[in-house]
Structure 1
Amino acid sequence: MRDLIITLVVFGSLPFILKRPYIGVLMWVWISVMNPHRLSWGFAYSFPFAAIIAGVTLIGLLVTRDPKKLPMTPIVLTLMLFCLWMGITTIFSMWPDESVVMLNRVSKIFLMTFATIMLIKTRRQIELLIWTLVGSLAYYGVKGGIFTVATGGSSIVWGPQGSYIEGNNEVALAFITIIPVMCFLYTILKNKWARRAMAASIILCAFAALGSYSRGALVGIGAMLFFLWLKSPKKVVLGALMVLMVPIAITFMPDKWTSRMETINTYKEDSSAMGRINAWYMAYNMAKDRPLGGGFEIYNRTAFELYAPVPDDVHAAHSIYFQALGEHGFIGLGIYLLLAFLTWRKAAWIVRTTAKREDLAWAGDLARMIQVSLLGFGVGGAFLSLLYYDVPYYLMAAVVSTGYLIEKTLAAEAAEAKAAAREAARAAQIDAHAHAQAQAQAHGASAP
């Protein structure tokens, strides 16, 4: 039954995608982030829904008359540079066959990120993109939060099978990343019951993150909460809620959860933590030896024998930063950090520009919460191999689209003001000319 429902929804959306390609972006985000087909057990489980949606979206992009210009902002140009650099590192990779397979997978994500920037243009479309991201992840967050509360936190929360966030650590970071934008949606909801439902969902997603037993998630939650408080206009109220709720949530979790979190202070005695450090050394040594990095798929015994302090302790990168460093060298890491910096700076520009504009307050609130999301991802991602996880790139696309919309609005207002000034100057000139003529006539009439 689930197979049939998912198939009908996807194929039923295709005519609408051809007419309005931005719908294809929303469908792609839903399929790639939520992985609803993984909730079935039949033919839909491995059916290429994402490829079909992407293909129809690109066809619609070519044939539609809707505006589809790709804004050549610093963020977009840097993302293009990152894609180009990954292609170069793949050519010179240590394992080119495996790297090409991964490059193909990653290229699809970035291609649809560019499509998102091209097609998501209006406030309604931006909010629909955020709703799609939130709905895709909040489903698992609410479900995991209820599971955590019902079991007293005694069992681990896992992510959807066959996805980037299948592991407990990865799905916890996904919840951390999405909670701030859920707070944004809370601010734009008008119905009190909808607001209460969103507030409950936020709390349950937080419990799901705790129920993942992820130590990196705990660090990410701490960073996210601090910055959320810093960005909040109601610091006293929010601070009081945090002081009240955080100890209650931690106390609710069982002793084995507390014991695991305490290993953060004794990481040298933890084999998992030391394995991550070993992988970081491997990535660093590889980047020093190979300026272009090792390319994709470098986490194998051969690479660790060549570059790791402990050759037989093979691990994944367990860090978005060391993953970029090992796979794409210091230049690749630099491009990635530049992309993060430019996104942050653009979001900050949106916040400043809309600070005194009630009509654009939504954009400032969204940019502020995306900053919190990216901070949480940046901190939690320091311990996970999620360099190519698509959600942060879609949030980046939302920043670009929001910034483009603000710039377009300001340019239109400036053009209107300039036109009004010209019209006023012209009217004043006409009035002055008429006044001069009237004076001349009066002077002529009074002459003998």
Structure 2
Amino acid sequence: MRDLIMLALFSLLIWKTMKEPIWGVLGWVWMGVMNPHRLAYGWAHDAPWSMVIALALFMSLIVHRDKLTRFPVNGVTVLLLIWILWIGVSPLIHSFYPEREFAPWSRAFKVVLMVLVSMLVVQRRRDLDWLALVLVISIGYYGIKGGLFTVMTGGAARVWGPEGSFIEDNNSLALATIMTVPLIRYLQLQATKRWQRNLALGAMLLCMASAVGSQSRGAFLAICAMSFFMWLKSRNKLPLAIVVLVALPLIFVFMPDSWTDRMETIKTYDQDGSAMGRINAWQTAWRLAVDLFPLGGGFTVPGPAAFAKYAPDPTIPLTAHSIYFQALGEHGFMGLFLFLGIFFLTWRRATRLIRATKNVPELQWARDLAAMCQVGLIGYATGGAFLSLVYFDMPYYLVLMVVALDRIVAKEMDARTKADVAAGIRPVNVHSPYWGGT
């Protein structure tokens, strides 16, 4: 039955994609983030859904090429373009296992490529709202499910993500769930009906409960950092502060002793084998990057060969368990610079968006979305310090949203300026005060 439901939904999606490319983008995001086919048990489980939706999207781009927007050229997109090229450099020049490089490179390449392609399609507020909703549904399904399990079992049960995905591991799923909370908050701020706002509130609380119940130390730190920034960036700070100050302590109180014991290891990391294994991997990545400067060792760094040569303790070859050391070890100092630069420039662009729309009531939604994208990036920057998720889709979709939002706001501000000039409110030689756009 699930296979047939999947086929019906996917067929509808293909039909809609051929009519409008945005549906292909939404379908790609849905398949890549939620992996709904992994919830089926028959032939649909391993069918090439993502490849089919990608082909349909590219066909739709050709058919509707006159409706596409120009590719935005700015600091963020330039770094993305260089990044997508650079991640193929290290594996070509230096790799410990050349025969194993193609699969992880292909996966990472497709994530960034489709984000760049989506920038030609996402060009209206409606597109951004739909994208936010698809991301919320895709991750929120697991977050709400995990939150319910956590509440009903007192934290004894954990929810794992779909197999073969970036969020298969419970720690990775916890971070993805945390990053979804700001998008739920954005949708809540735009909701016009009370039941929609209450539904969003319940979803946020359950997602946070799910992340706490994962017993992930990185997720715990990410929740703390993100909760503060979400309060800082939100409208209606008092109600949100009350919810956070009341809900989070209650969630922590109901956690089992095993949760408390695990969180305590943050202070005694030097006595925890898992933490020391990560530090060993971080030192390995640093030594490798220094030796191969400015390159890295490719996608297959977490293996016996690299650790035998560079690790302080070669007997525990682990993945980097840090987006920063993963980027450094696999793609060198140049790769780390590009990776950090993408999100730094995205943050700056979102900050300027917030300032530009501060006193424009019609663009309050844009201010909310830019602020919540920043909150999501804070969650990624904090929780990602302890997870190998450099190529995880979610943060790149936040980048996509900020870049598209930048273009929408620039167009709106330019139209407002022209209207003011026509009405004699502004001098003819005064241009739009907004710096953004392409």
TM-score (norm 2): 0.94
The partner residue of 1:131 within 133, 142, 153 is 133
The partner residue of 1:293 within 271, 291, 296 is 296
Report matched runs for 1:209-224 at 5 Å: 209-224=211-226
Amino acid at match of 2:186: F
Distance in 2 (alpha carbons) for counterparts of 1:237 and 1:192: 15
In the alignment, does 2:318 pair up with 1:315?
yes
Higher alpha-carbon deviation: 414-423 or 296-305: 414-423
Q: Does the residue aligned with 2:88 lie in a helix, a strand or coil? A: helix
Q: Deviations over 1:243-268 (max 9, x none)?
A: 32222111011111111111111111
In the alignment, does 2:41 pair up with 1:28?
no
Distance in 1 (alpha carbons) for counterparts of 2:17 and 2:170: 34
In the alignment, does 2:162 pair up with 1:160?
yes
The equivalent of 1:428 in structure 2 is none
Q: Deviations over 1:281-334 (max 9, x none)?
A: 110010001121101121111110101100011101100000000000001101
Contact persistence 1:61–1:68 (CA under 8 A): no
Distance in 2 (alpha carbons) for counterparts of 1:72 and 1:259: 49
The partner residue of 1:178 within 180, 190, 193 is 180
| Cα deviation, residue 16, structure 1 | 1.9
Report how many aligned residue pairs link the two structures.
Answer: 425
Q: Deviations over 1:134-186 (max 9, x none)?
A: 01111111111111111111122322222110111100000111101111101
Distance in 2 (alpha carbons) for counterparts of 1:144 and 1:304: 36
In the alignment, does 2:66 pair up with 1:63?
no
The equivalent of 1:3 in structure 2 is 3
**1:343 to 1:179, Cα distance in 2 relative to 1, 3 A:** same
**1:8 to 1:176, Cα distance in 2 relative to 1, 3 A:** same
Contact persistence 1:2–1:40 (CA under 8 A): yes
| Cα deviation, residue 372, structure 1 | 0.5
Higher-Rg structure is 1
Report matched runs for 1:239-318 at 5 Å: 239-291=241-293, 292-318=295-321
The partner residue of 1:351 within 351, 354, 358 is 354
**1:216 to 1:423, Cα distance in 2 relative to 1, 3 A:** closer
| Cα deviation, residue 123, structure 1 | 0.4
In the alignment, does 2:379 pair up with 1:376?
yes
Contact persistence 2:140–2:207 (CA under 8 A): yes
Distance in 2 (alpha carbons) for counterparts of 1:424 and 1:276: 60
| Cα deviation, residue 102, structure 1 | 1.5
Distance in 1 (alpha carbons) for counterparts of 2:365 and 2:237: 19
Q: Deviations over 1:337-374 (max 9, x none)?
A: 11111000011011001100110000000100110110
Amino acid at match of 2:37: H
Q: Does the residue aligned with 1:118 lie in a helix, a strand or coil? A: coil
Distance in 2 (alpha carbons) for counterparts of 1:356 and 1:143: 39
Q: Deviations over 1:38-65 (max 9, x none)?
A: 0001111110100100111011112212
| Cα deviation, residue 228, structure 1 | 1.4
Amino acid at match of 2:303: N
| Cα deviation, residue 8, structure 1 | 1.7
The partner residue of 2:365 within 359, 362, 366 is 362
The equivalent of 1:396 in structure 2 is 399
Distance in 2 (alpha carbons) for counterparts of 1:421 and 1:265: 64
| Cα deviation, residue 412, structure 1 | 2.3
Q: Deviations over 1:66-125 (max 9, x none)?
A: 123211121111100111111222211313322222211111111110122110100011
Amino acid at match of 1:122: R
The RMSD of aligned alpha carbons is 1.6
- Identity level (%): 44
The equivalent of 2:124 in structure 1 is 122
Distance in 2 (alpha carbons) for counterparts of 1:336 and 1:29: 21
Higher alpha-carbon deviation: 315-324 or 91-100: 91-100
**1:182 to 1:424, Cα distance in 2 relative to 1, 3 A:** closer
Distance in 2 (alpha carbons) for counterparts of 1:181 and 1:396: 13
| Cα deviation, residue 7, structure 1 | 1.4
Distance in 2 (alpha carbons) for counterparts of 1:6 and 1:144: 23
The equivalent of 1:41 in structure 2 is 41
Distance in 1 (alpha carbons) for counterparts of 2:169 and 2:426: 63
Distance in 2 (alpha carbons) for counterparts of 1:166 and 1:424: 57
Distance in 1 (alpha carbons) for counterparts of 2:258 and 2:85: 46
Higher alpha-carbon deviation: 267-276 or 149-158: 149-158
TM-score (norm 1): 0.92
**1:183 to 1:422, Cα distance in 2 relative to 1, 3 A:** closer
| Cα deviation, residue 415, structure 1 | 3.1
**1:423 to 1:246, Cα distance in 2 relative to 1, 3 A:** closer
Higher alpha-carbon deviation: 163-172 or 409-418: 409-418
The partner residue of 2:193 within 191, 194, 198 is 191
| Cα deviation, residue 406, structure 1 | 0.5
Distance in 1 (alpha carbons) for counterparts of 2:425 and 2:355: 29
Contact persistence 1:17–1:23 (CA under 8 A): yes
The equivalent of 2:331 in structure 1 is 328
Q: Does the residue aligned with 1:119 lie in a helix, a strand or coil? A: coil
Contact persistence 2:417–2:426 (CA under 8 A): no
Distance in 2 (alpha carbons) for counterparts of 1:223 and 1:423: 43
